[in-house]
Amino acid sequence: MIKALIIAVLVVSVAGCSGNQSALDVHGQSAVALKQLIVIMVIACAIIWLLVSGFLVWAVARRREVRDDEVTKRKMTVGVQSAAIATVIIVAGLTMISFYTTRLLNSAADDAVVVTVKGQQWWWQFVYKQDQNQALFQTANELHIPVGRDVRLELESIDVIHSFWVPSLAGKLDLIPGRKNILTMRADRPGIYRGQCAEFCGLQHSHMALMVIAEEKADYERWRMSQAAPAREPTSDEALAGKDVFTARQCAACHTIRGTPAVGTSGPDLTHVGARQMIGAGLLETTRGSLAAWIADPQTLKPGNNMPLVPLTSDELRQVSAYLEGLK
Amino acid sequence: MKERIVLETSRLPLHAMGMASPTWWGTCAFMLIEGSGFALAIAVYLYLMSLAPHWPIGAPPPDLWAGTWLTVVLVISVIPNVLVSRWAESRRLRRVQIGLLVMIVFGIAPLVFRAFEFMALHINWDKNAYGSIVWVLLGLHTTHILTDLVDTIVLTCLMFSRHGDNTRRYGDVQDNSLYWNFVVLTWLPIYACIYWVPRL
Amino acid sequence: MTSAKSVKLAVGLAGICLFFIAVFIGWARQPRQFRVDPPIAAALEQFRLMPNAISGTPAEVYFAMGKPYESTAFDLSQGKRLYAWFGCSQCHGDGTGKTGPSFLDGWWLYGPSMVSIVASIRDGRPHGMPAFKDEMTIDEIWQLAGYVKSVGAYSTSSKAPSRNDDKTDRPAENRAPAAILFNEGPVLPRPDQGPSR
Amino acid sequence: MMGKESSRPLLDTDLDDVVLEARLAKTWETPTGFWGIFATVDHKIIARRYLATAFVFLFLGGLLALAMRLQLSRPEARFIGPDRYNQIFTMHGTNMMFLFAVPVMEAVAIYLVPLMVGTRNIAFPRLNAYSYWVFLFGGILLWLSFALDTAPDVGWFAYVPLAGPQYSPGKRADLWAQMITFTEVAALAVAVEIVVTVFKQRAPGMSLDRIPVLVWAMLVMSFLVILAMPAIMFASSTLILDRLVGTQFYNPAKGGDALLWQHLFWFFGHPEVYIIFIPAVGMVSTILPTFVGRPLFGYLALVSALVATGILSFGLWVHHMFVVGLPRVGESFFTASSMAIALPAGVQIFCWLATLWAGRPVFKTPVLFVLGFIVTFVMGGLTGVMVASVPFDTQVHDTYFVVAHFHYVLVGGAVFPLLGAVYYWYPKICGRMMSERLGRWVFGLIFVGFHLTFFPMHILGLAGMPRRVYTYQPELPWAGLNLFVSLSSLILATGFLLFLIDALRSWRHGRPAGSNPWGASTLEWATTSPPPAYNFRRIPVVSSLTPLLDNDGELTVAAGLRTDRRELLITSVVEALPQSRESSPRNSIWPFLASIATSILFVWSIFSPWAVVWGAIPVALALIAWFWPKGSPEDES
């Protein structure tokens, strides 16, 4: 009895105070439909569980004499048959609700924003498609989407199977190498929604998070324009020295900063890394200190990830982190 | 607990043949295991074919002659196989011994053709998924023939030994011929799958 | 019955000490190295080359670490990833050689030892081999060198990387590719060993 | 042989009980010492070993679970690194599914099925010995790899391409795949033995409608094993081929497909979890009537529900793949079939409830575990119905909601009845009772510990915590619940520890149990506790579903078997009419030697494909020596 109450109370309470990565704190069109389905099913099953456990407690607590006569037999047969029929009805009902919800999650409208999502071992690459006038650009671990407009994500995997999941907006969908899956999402309210890889993909599966930032149309367009632009020129001389260190040392071999000689493609595109919420796929907030810590020793913060430990002197480290933080 | 004898069983035979012998059922159970394994392998073949834009990938369909000759030899081998089973049923030791020798020959002949079949595939196992599944299908069936050939050889030695004239041993000969029929039976869908499906 | 008990005890004890021996070996064995301490990385740089830059002595620390870069599966597979990431296949193909030399024909222009391969990668070689000194960290260079040696393997190895999920046709490094693809071919006028050609 | 009167071998008809027992004991006994240990073919000795080994693996797996809970108790904890944690959770899953759950259910079958169908030994007893050794060597291989820090780290399902040749360096994934080969060979061998024992060695008169429900459950389990295991053997063998000789089954760039692995694995995976659950249904249906004072209600309904569950279990494997992007109509079919399997489970629950309703339960420990099972399994089944819906699954797949679901149906649905079964049959296996007082504490701790540990995981799953993460960020709201779960897992662990103490203590100090301490009605209670090597002095003749209750406590038996050689009755499949007096093989060292040769072949083939060619020769020689008649009385006929 108490257990069913706990289910109901917790289901409702979690909705309020959860962080922004919960299937019950929903702000996306499909996630809202899914939450309704979850609540209906949880309550229906709680009631069934209550009935069954209630009957069990009653049947056990009756302390009556053992009865094996025909009347009891017939009563039991009728009881079991009706329970079986009830099960058929309930199961059929739940199946219908499930099919109904599936139909609700329709495919994207044709004016949807198209973004290619490339999952690779342990970070997310978002490639914004070229449409009429926007130049092609890419960013990492952060997906900006306009509020109220469909977003069509083309999911591709570079290496192993990952799973793109932002619970507040939509259900998850796997990225399978050799196949292309399409996921449709639409945010109803502006906000920052955290998502995480949901299919075990190796050493750092735990730190493969992404941020979806839903913003009003104007902000979104402004963001797109800024992302399409090449990197800002460093203002302070410390940042300038940092740029030289970046291009001279191993960093340029893996990372791209548009507008500088750094054109490596195996690591994330850092053209506007300073503007991102988090670095290391949801590992640390983007601050100068976290950038310095990450560059100084990526293997201690995220053991096994593919960024080597580049030995830098302390002032080189200060300069590079100043330069990267400036790349707004 | 107190006991009351209600059934006299001393008249029963020490070993009943066919459906009444546990080894017959054991052979059937192992045939069910291997049968479901072969069915799965063919299902994987068809699944990979459904994915490929054109099938077979990067190779011509296998040449027919080696596989067809092997099928003919296998189908013909069923005749002496059934005869051996019948002679074993009627416990005629001499005929069973000769029959088993013939079955050894019928066990080796397909392996000769099988060597040519692997060459007739015109593909290596590591070239692509088509090569892999075709080599695995052929490899599985080759192991199937080999294991039953070894069984037949051991049974032949047994029937020539002092243990030969014994109902249980005739039961074993029957189980072995039942298993050989299964080896031939499983080859037919694999033959159709490897040789004729790419030509459809 | 006591003999059965004692036998069971003996078998049980054997099992337990087998397990503890394995635990000790597991503990003694090097767990996978994700992070190379900067001092060790610096030490890895200090290998001394012969005057003609063909061979030399690896750093002491390389032996102290138990020569991991040519014998641990994780480092070799990281080497294979670096081979793909740093575009080595543009000149060396999948190891069979294009404009750059092949690793499969058993002929090492600068000697087959790890040190000379690391030197070739780090400092580059004349006739087109770029220096990766500022492109890769030293431990990555060692990992890549270990992988390059495994490409030319003549015997199967359980530590070498297996095939890739891509279109390469060459047999994988763990299947002794050099032995499979070995063909004497016409005797080419091989330059004697040394940095000519 | 039979015709000559004078030297007619002594039949058991004209012998009184004491002489008969002495003579049968001499024929059927297993000698002590090394020879006895490695050459025994007595199904009871082998089953006891299977049970002991499986429970050792259970406790080792439990320690792994505690290590995982320690690492997850705090956000960004640094107790265990990612590489070691991935090995631990893979080992926990693989060990629990392949080295504990399936073998322990088969061990119960090996011990009880011959006794419950009224025969003297399992069919093909040497194959039974062989299967135990292969299972043991497989378990040792896996745990040695864990001790050597090279344990598989790709999850108990080893999805390709992570477990494939490119992204899983070294031999870790191969060890996993080869361990599958070991355990599947053992499981298939036992399944064949159980099928043939139930079909051909039932006591005369035990027609199909008089077979105990537990034996039906074990039969259905065996058919599931026979039809499902080839899928995983094909999958694991092709994975080793991909990694060793470069076949391209799972390489999308060369015509292969990553989803091929998931289809093959889960086509085996879902029947596997029913292989673990269906024997538990048999155990509950056998324990309940004994403590309720009336026969089981709806025997026919229960048995047909068992068979229906078995058949349906092959039709719903795609519900593990709802989020890989399959066409929607395919997913809807599998939603319907996954929901449909709730019906037979429902019918079984209702039959048990009806039996309970019409009887007066006596609250001994086995019944406590049955009640705990019903409460827990119904909740697990309901969450199962929830995750069968595609949209629901897109939010909870690969999260801790699913972790909670399958622990409810596996620990709640199979381990609870198993613990009840241990308390119920321990007197029969060891001759001594387990203590009731400790039993109540064990049940209380395990039941409370289980729900406090696994119920909050539903909430963690809905709060967005994915599976198989070695750590999580401090700013996420999961820290509190994770700490709570980690602490309550200690309660669960104490419960299991107490169970171990009770089991070991009762081995020597338990109250001696008579042959039928619970007053049960099935044939295994007709023998002494523990049963003699030959099980029954004379093979029983059955005339109803409850042989010990009819003709007022007197056992009707068949006579006429010889006592100087190991003989048992072969009966027809449907009506169990006697057909022949088949002999049962004596002890033989060859199964042990054959299992060593097989293990060498399997382990060697991890490193070189030529192992299959050269390694097969010693295996063939051992099998030939095993098969070759030794001229013992069992071979004449």
pLDDT per residue over C51-62, tens digit each?
887 888 888 888
- Minimum-distance CB partner of C32 among D83, D148, D243: D83
Residues of A in contact with C38 (CB under 8 A): 309, 311
Specify the pLDDT at position A12: 43
| Cβ-Cβ contacts under 8 Å for D333 (sequence gap 6 or more) | none
Instruction: Establish if A79 touches chain C: CB-CB under 8 angstroms.
Output: no
CB contact under 8 A, B14 and D631: no
Here the CATH number for the domain that contains residue A317 is 2.60.40.420
Which of A105, A134, A166 is the last residue before a domain boundary?
A105
Report the distance separating Cα A251 and Cα A295, nearest Å.
10
Clarify whether residues A135 and A212 are in a common domain: yes
Q: Which of residues 101-120 of A touch D (CB under 8 A)?
A: 101-102, 105
What confidence tier does A1 reach under pLDDT thresholds 50, 70, 90? very low
Give the CB-side neighbour count of residue D332, counting CA atoms within 13 A.
Answer: 13
Average pLDDT of chain D to the nearest whole number? 93
Closest to A83 (Cα-Cα) out of A119, A51, A44, A115: A51
Name the packing angle between helices D590-607 and D125-147 (round to 10°): 40
Q: Which residue of C has its CA nearest to D244?
A: C162
In one letter, which amino acid is B137?
L
User: For residue D402, what are the contacts with CB-CB under 8 A and spacing of at least 6?
Assistant: D387, D396, D461, D467
D-contacting chains (≥3 CB pairs under 8 Å): A, B, C
Same-domain pairing of C100 and C171: yes
With contacts defined as CB-CB under 8 Å, which chain C residues touch B123?
A: none
Contact criterion met (CB below 8 Å) for D279 and D109: yes
| Same domain? A97 vs A197 | no
B130 in contact with D at a CB cutoff of 8 Å?
A: yes
**Spatial separation of the C-alpha atoms in residues A111 and A127, rounded to whole Å:** 18
Which residues, other chains included, contact C2 with Cβ-Cβ below 8 Å and sequence gap of 6+? none
CB-based contact C171 B126, cutoff 8 Å: yes
User: Residue A15: which pLDDT band, with cuts at 50, 70 and 90?
Assistant: very low
Return residues 63-122 of B near D (CB < 8 Å). none
Residue C40 at interface with chain A, using a CB cutoff of 8 Å: no
- A3 found inside a domain: no
Nearest to D291 by CA among D353, D352, D358, D360: D360
For domain B21-199, the CATH class is mainly alpha
Task: State chain A's mean pLDDT as an integer.
Answer: 88
User: Chain C contact for B8, CB < 8 A?
Assistant: no
Query: Do A92 and A179 share a domain, yes or no?
Result: no
The pTM (predicted TM-score) of the whole model is 0.94
pLDDT over 70 for what percent of chain D?
98
- CA of D382 to nearest chain A CA: how many angstroms apart? 6
Residue of C nearest to D147 (CA): C23
What is the tens place of the pLDDT at every residue in A116-129?
A: 999 999 999 999 87
User: C33 pLDDT exceeds 90?
Assistant: no
- pLDDT attached to residue A13: 43
Query: Residue D7 has what pLDDT?
Result: 45
Residue C188 lies in a domain: no
**Residue of C45, C77, C80, C135 best to disrupt the A interface, most CBs of A under 10 A:** C135
Of D154, D379, D464, the CB nearest to A23: D464
- Give the distance from residue D40's alpha carbon to the nearest chain B alpha carbon, in angstroms: 20
Residues A124 and A212 in one domain: yes
Q: What does the angle CA B86 – CA B91 – CA B96 come to, to the nearest 5 degrees?
A: 65
Q: Quick one: A217 and A309 in the same domain?
A: no
Domain presence at residue A260: yes
CATH code of C158's domain: 1.10.760.10
Phi and psi torsions of A319, nearest 5°: -65, -45
Name the amino acid, one letter, at D450. F
- pLDDT tens string C164-190: 998 888 899 999 888 888 766 555 555
Best mutation site among C35, C88, C132 for testing chain A: the one with the most A CBs within 10 Å? C35
In a domain, A206, yes or no: yes
Nearest Cα residue to A21 out of A173, A175, A207, A165? A165
User: Are residue A144 and residue A191 in the same domain, yes or no?
Assistant: yes
pLDDT value of residue D6 = 37
The count of CB pairs under 8 A between chains B and D is 201
Q: Do D248 and B127 touch (CB under 8 A)?
A: yes
3-state SS class at B3: strand
CA distances from D246 to C150, C153, C168, C169, C173 (A): 16, 16, 11, 10, 10
Most confident region among C12-16, D35-39, D329-333 by mean pLDDT = D35-39
Comparing alpha-carbon positions, the chain C residue that sits nearest to A247 is C134
**C contact test, residue of D32, D49, D87, D247 with most C CBs within 10 A:** D32
Q: Looking at beta carbons, which residues of chain B come within 8 Å of D573?
A: 19
- Does the beta-carbon distance from B125 to D245 stay under 8 Å? yes
- Tally of structural domains, chain C: 2
| For residue B108, pLDDT beyond 50 | yes
Of D11, D254, D637, Cβ closest to residue B167: D637
Within this chain, do residues A121 and A205 fall inside the same structural domain, yes or no?
yes
Nearest CB to C38 within list A177, A304, A309: A309
Domain with A164 in it:
113-224
Whether D371 and A60 have beta carbons less than 8 Å apart is answered as yes
- Report the C-alpha gap between D566 and C149 in whole angstroms: 63
Q: Which of D231, D249, D233 is nearest to D241 (CA)?
A: D249
Select the more confidently predicted residue: B164 or D518: D518
Identify from A20, A56, A67 which residue to disrupt to test chain D contact, counting D C-beta atoms within 10 A and taking the largest count.
A56
pLDDT > 90 in chain D, percent:
85
Which residues in chain A have their CB less than 8 angstroms from residue C34's CB?
203, 299, 303-304
- In-domain check, residue A11: no
| Cβ-based contacts of D555 with chain B (< 8 Å) | 1-4
Instruction: Give domain status of residue C52, yes or no.
Output: yes
* Residue C186 resides in a domain: no
Q: Are residues C46 and C109 in the same domain?
A: yes
Looking at CA atoms only, how far is residue D152 from chain A in angstroms?
A: 12
What mean pLDDT, rounded, does chain C reach? Answer: 84
- Contact A39/D at CB under 8 A: no
Minimum mean pLDDT among A285-299, C101-115, D500-514: which range? Answer: C101-115
| Mean predicted confidence (pLDDT) in D487-514 | 94
Which residues of D fall within a CB distance of 8 Å from A95?
A: 335-336, 339, 389
pLDDT digits (tens, 9 = 90+) for B5-15: 888 888 888 88
Nearest CA in chain B to D12: B10
d(CA D309, CA D341): 6
Q: Select the residue of C31, C167, C174 nearest D254 (Cβ to Cβ).
A: C167
Neighbours of chain B (3+ CB pairs under 8 A): C, D
Sketch the domain layout of chain B as residue ranges: 21-199
Same domain, C79 and C132: yes
Residue D1 scores a pLDDT above 60: no
Same domain, A89 and A129: no
Stretch among A10-19, C3-12, C123-132, D422-431 having the lowest mean pLDDT: A10-19
Among chain D residues, the shortest Cα distance to A23 is held by D462
Task: Looking at the structure, tell me whether residues C94 and C18 fall in a common domain.
Answer: no
- Residue C169: its pLDDT value, please? 86
B165 pLDDT band, cuts 50/70/90, is: confident
User: Which one of C20, C33, C157, C164 makes the best mutation probe of the D interface by having the most chain D beta carbons within 10 Å?
Assistant: C164
pLDDT average, residue stretch D186-214: 96
C84 with C11, same domain? no
pLDDT band at residue A2, thresholds of 50, 70 and 90? low
Give per-residue pLDDT as tens, A219-271. Answer: 999 998 899 889 888 989 999 999 999 999 999 999 999 999 999 999 999 99
For residue A276, pLDDT beyond 80: yes
A89, with CB counted inside 10 A (0-12, 13-18, 19+), is: exposed
The answer to whether A283 and A272 have CB atoms below 8 angstroms apart is no
Integer Cα distance of A254 and A307 in angstroms: 9
Cross-strand bridge partners of residue A28: A187
What is the Cα–Cα distance from D462 to D481, expressed in whole angstroms?
12
Instruction: Give ipTM to 2 decimals.
Output: 0.93
Best interface-test mutation with C: which of A120, A295, A310, A314 has the largest number of C CBs within 10 A? A310
Nearest CB among B2, B5, B167 relative to D559 is that of B5
Q: Which residues of D touch A171 (CB under 8 A)?
A: 323, 391, 393-395
Residue scoring higher pLDDT (D634 or B196): B196
DSSP state of D102: H
C73 shares its domain with C88: yes
Domain that includes residue C62, residue range:
35-181
Predicted pLDDT of residue D3: 40
Predicted confidence band at D459 (pLDDT cuts at 50, 70, 90)?
Answer: very high
Sorting pLDDT into bands at 50, 70 and 90, what band is A169?
Answer: very high
Q: Domains, chain D, ranges and CATH?
A: 10-635 (1.20.210.10)
Question: What percentage of residues in chain A have a pLDDT greater than 70?
Answer: 92
Residue D401 Cα distances to C183, D398, D404, D436, angstroms? 58, 8, 5, 35
Q: Are residues C114 and C146 in the same domain?
A: yes
Provide the domain count of chain A.
3
C155 burial level (CB within 10 Å; 0-12, 13-18, 19+): exposed
Report the share of chain C in percent with pLDDT over 70. Answer: 90
Name the more confident of C101 and D96: D96
- Chain D residues with CB-CB distance to A3 below 8 A: 379, 451, 455
Q: What is the pLDDT of residues D99-131, one digit of tens each?
A: 999 999 999 999 999 999 999 999 999 999 999
**The pLDDT of residue C12:** 78
**What is the distance in angstroms between the Cα of D37 and the nearest Cα belonging to chain C?**
8
pLDDT over 90, % of chain B: 84
